[in-house]
Amino acid sequence: MIRCARLALSLLSFMVLVAVPMRVAACSCMEQSLAEAVRTADFAFVGTLVSTDKPIPVPMQPGAGEIVWSWQVERARDAIDTNRIDLAAWPDDGANCGVSFSVGERWLIIAHRAEGHLSTSSCAMNQRMDGVEPDVAADIELMLSVVPAAEPADPDAQPFIPSMPVVFMVGAIALLAAVSGWAFLRRRG
């Protein structure tokens, strides 16, 4: 009887070890108001997700790597010189504080600098701007009042500014031509 109990206990222990995932993680977030989250963020903006650097995995898929999310910025808390922002975030796998964005969605994004780039997480208090909560959307519009500068439509349309060596070379040729012309006229006259 004791032998059967030991065998059953060993089998149960083995099943528990196999059933428990190898990676256990939990997401716990600091509580704060939306206004405080916007105020303390390194960067806060409202924008539409336009692309990612790799396919967005299905929600709750474990093992997905970090993604770079590219946003068309509509308005921001601080002045910026572009209307496109890239930020890094982990897709949501249920335990990693990841995000669940889809291309074409409009969001309030609250980002922080980490390892030289902007990043966000589900703890950042990002808000989907889908019109469901008009009062929240109005508050957000007041907190983020800066409209970013538009990107030039055509990079070739920017003015040409020659490099310093080119300027010196053209100047030297012009000076040589002027001196030669002066010498030629002086000799004739």
CB 88 within 8 A of CB 119: yes
DSSP readout, 80-141?
A: -S-SEEEEEEPBP-SSS--B---TT-EEEEEEEEETTEEE--GGG--EE-SSS-HHHHHHHH
More confident residue, 24 or 31: 31
More confident residue, 36 or 152: 36
Distance, C-alpha 80 to centroid of its chain: 14
Share of the chain above pLDDT 70, in %: 73
DSSP readout, 59-88?
A: TT-TTPPPEEEEEEEEEESS--S-SEEEEE
HSE-up of 97 (CA within 13 Å, CB side)? 15
Separation between Cα atoms, residue 145 and residue 136, nearest integer Å = 15
Q: pTM of the entire structure? A: 0.63
pLDDT in the model for residue 149: 64
Please write the tens of the pLDDT for every residue from 88-121.
999 888 777 889 899 999 999 999 998 889 999 9
Residue range 33-51: mean pLDDT, rounded: 94
The answer, yes or no, to whether residue 22 has pLDDT greater than 50, is no
CB 165 within 8 A of CB 156: no
Average pLDDT over the chain, rounded to an integer: 79
Task: Select, from the ranges 9-13, 18-22, 77-81, the one with the highest average predicted confidence (pLDDT).
Answer: 77-81
Separation between Cα atoms, residue 80 and residue 83, nearest integer Å = 8
Domains of the chain: which residue ranges?
A: 38-143
More confident residue, 161 or 50: 50
Strand-strand pairing, 117-119 and 127-128: unpaired
Residues constituting the chain: 189
Which of the four pLDDT bands, split at 50, 70 and 90, describes residue 23?
Answer: very low
Which of the four pLDDT bands, split at 50, 70 and 90, describes residue 49?
Answer: very high
The answer, yes or no, to whether residue 180 has pLDDT greater than 70, is yes
User: Which tokens go with 161?
Assistant: 């500014």
Query: What CATH number was assigned to the domain covering residues 38-143?
Result: 2.40.50.120
pLDDT in the model for residue 64: 74
